Amino acid sequence: MRVGMISAAHVHAASYASILKEEGRFEFVGVWDDDPERGKSFSKEYDVLFFNNIGDLLKNVDVVIITSENSKHLQHLKMVIGNVKGVLCEKPLAPTIDDAREMVELAKSYGVKLGVAFPVRFHPVSKRVKEIFESEELGSILVITSSNRGQLPPGWFTDPDLAGGGAIMDHVVHLVDLFRWFTKKEFKEVLTFRGRNIHPELDVEDCAILRLDLSGIPMTLDCSWAMPKSHPYWGEVVFRVVFEKGIVEADVFSQNLIFESNEGSEIEWINYGENADREMLLAFSDWVEGKEVEFPTGEDGLRATEVVERAYESLERGRGVRINEEG
């Protein structure tokens, strides 16, 4: 499968590029970027072509991965739609409900498969937890607590115009998608609390907690940029689910060795086991080729964006806000 990348803006672009170069199933053709200097640097690092004209890239690929700034996802989808069989868009699908809905409708109208980069679904820990949910062996769910805390991301992630928000925009969608996938239920209401307590110089929130109603199940979600610079890994996806007959606790990215040395001042985490990004890209390839694969779709991305936009609306109104409903 011939793959092109639209922008090298997102931090995950490097991970995807490495996998595309390593996996024999893919031919990583090249990258187009509206920032030519950034795009050329990226293409040199990964030994692929840089395309000044996006049309020239589209003539040579089967699918594209959109890894641009959040606010440009719709614009870039419009530039590629109709020229490729599939599009994998970095999360969030879009910073607003209107943009996300337009992206979903656009993909449908052209018959193009639009997927969203929710790699946490493809981690073995998540897959095992999904099996527990589906078995119903532990009975009904009573309460869920969760956190997706991370380090302060670089560059445009703290620019409200390019990112669309702060920690809420960046980190809410992973766990929202994960628990929609686990439970096959929809989020009905959100009440949001936020602050700018860790990096007060920012123009966006760096910490927040959401109180969510998952079709009658109470859930909390900490989406803060709370990890210090010295933390050996970018962040976490951690949750605790209390069932009638037991408790499931998961730390999704705990597959690592902790390495300490006199040669450096920081602890290093050496990861082992499956790479969720790799599993996601392989599944995306299967999905586009028509194989029976469950993959997070544009609709899933839209549902996650709905929660995010209503979370910000909750802050404006100072109360809980219904999701998928007015008022």
Closest Cα partner for 316 from 192, 171, 158? 192
pLDDT score recorded for residue 308: 98
Return the CATH fold of 120-274+297-322: Dihydrodipicolinate Reductase; domain 2 (3.30.360)
Q: 113-162 pLDDT, tens per residue? A: 999 999 999 998 999 999 999 999 999 999 999 999 999 999 999 999 99
H or E element in which residue 249 lies: strand 247-251
pLDDT score recorded for residue 198: 87
pLDDT score recorded for residue 324: 77
Q: Is pLDDT at 327 greater than 50 in this prediction?
A: no
Domain edges within the chain:
2-116, 120-274+297-322
Q: 13-23 pLDDT, tens per residue? A: 999 999 999 99
CA dist 10 and 3 (Å) reads 17
pLDDT score recorded for residue 270: 62
pLDDT score recorded for residue 230: 74
pLDDT score recorded for residue 269: 61
pLDDT band at 255 (very low <50, low <70, confident <90, very high): low
pLDDT band at 235 (very low <50, low <70, confident <90, very high): confident
CATH architecture for segment(s) 2-116 = 3-Layer(aba) Sandwich (3.40)
Q: List C-alpha distances in Å: 218 to 36, 176, 221.
A: 47, 13, 10
